[in-house]
A and B are shown apart, each in its own frame.
Chain A
């Protein structure tokens, strides 16, 4: 098996200038290796830094030090040192992310939200639309909603749009933040199926799964994040 994601000595803290420069450390000397075809579940107490690590892995948070090495375009690149353009390229081609909540864009339909990353990768519009429709249908989003902007959708419907968007492009590395939190049992099974398919095509997945049953069914192993002592 080959490692497609390697976190090395990652550190991340925050300085709150508006709170008198209050600083706290969330991650220190974090190490994680994920191979192709493998799903790793992040575990640990609430507030320990699981989401912070996820956001660092996505490039949404900057790392203070350390490396986040990703297999990208045939080589290993360090996401932690990548400039804005390289992060965008990595997100377009290599690194998918299903956030807990959909960031709704006014007037853009559910189908277009899902098709957008496919179009960005150069897929023909009708093919992208067909794939978007197929995924939304598989996730049991009623066809009458496909053409509507998700702003007025329920939490569970928005999450399924988000999941379809994340699974549409077959990313080699996929990050999942609570992907089944607002789903019923039937849709949870669909998501578990999507995760298994992603693994069998060789994707590496990292997820936060509070649902123990889901975690047991998809994760090959767990990676525990321990809360650091309060730092000055």
Chain B
């Protein structure tokens, strides 16, 4: 824990007249779970995609320190270099499972494909590992040959998480991982993510508008508004002792169950 995994600063990005990112700086340390919260249009998903190398900012730096201790300059990295990172050291969980899965191939194939692209070759071992990961995300391994089309939304999301984690990434990006699911399914999924993240010691950067999810999962919370970070810090302090007017509004707007 001597250096951040990901360091970024001075990020600016305009979409026409809209400042999606207006001078954002953020670091993520090994094993740290960071939630980016804010309303729609705050720039939180844009920030996630810029950090993950999916879109380029107009200005600013994003540096990633890889397993070998080499610092990778993400905006300067080739498309192939970014894909290689995404196959091995990174994972990305999309809000919509269909964006992260291949709907035409089996559940086992979805998990195994990622293992194969990371170098796995032994069919029996890949299948066994796929079945093991289905069990770890609380899916019935007997359904390994079914395609994701047969699965409910919550199951598709769990399959996407298994596909993402099977290669044991160091840094996982998640965009509203529980968005669009039933509340009871959300709670289960959040708990599953919480358990896996703690067990695997993953660094996670996730975007959510769900304050309760941020409290449950995150060590640190970053509050965004109009493309800027208005407040950030220890998760429970940001929620229990919010300083910025906007954070106070966000926290006050949560319905207590």
Contacts and interface: CB of A to CB of B under 8 A. Distances in A.
B237 interface: yes
Contact of A107 (B188, B233, B234): B188
A18 B248 contact: yes
Interface in A64-104: 83-85, 87-88
Contacts of B175: none
Contacts of A107: 187-188, 191
A61 B191 CA distance: 26
Interface string A101-112: 000011110000
Nearest to A149: B191
Interface size class of B (residues with CB under 8 A): 20 to 34
Contact of B248 (A17, A62, A85): A17
B234 A18 contact: no
Contacts of B187: 106-107
A106 B191 contact: yes
Interface in A1-39: 14-18
B240 A55 contact: yes
A49 interface: no
Contact of B233 (A15, A17, A18, A62): A62
A62 B188 contact: no
B219 interface: yes
B234 A88 contact: yes
A59 B234 contact: yes
A200 interface: no
A16 B248 contact: yes
A60 interface: yes
Interface string B223-257: 00000000001111100110111001100100000
B241 A85 contact: no
Contacts of A106: 187-188, 190-191
Given A107-B191, A108-B191, A84 B220 contact: yes
Interface in B22-55: 29, 32
Which 7 A-B pairs give the minimum distances between C-beta atoms?
A17-B245, A84-B234, A61-B241, A84-B220, A107-B191, A106-B187, A17-B248
14 contacts: A16-B248, A17-B248, A18-B252, A60-B237, A61-B237, A62-B233, A62-B241, A83-B233, A84-B219, A84-B234, A87-B234, A88-B234, A106-B187, A107-B188
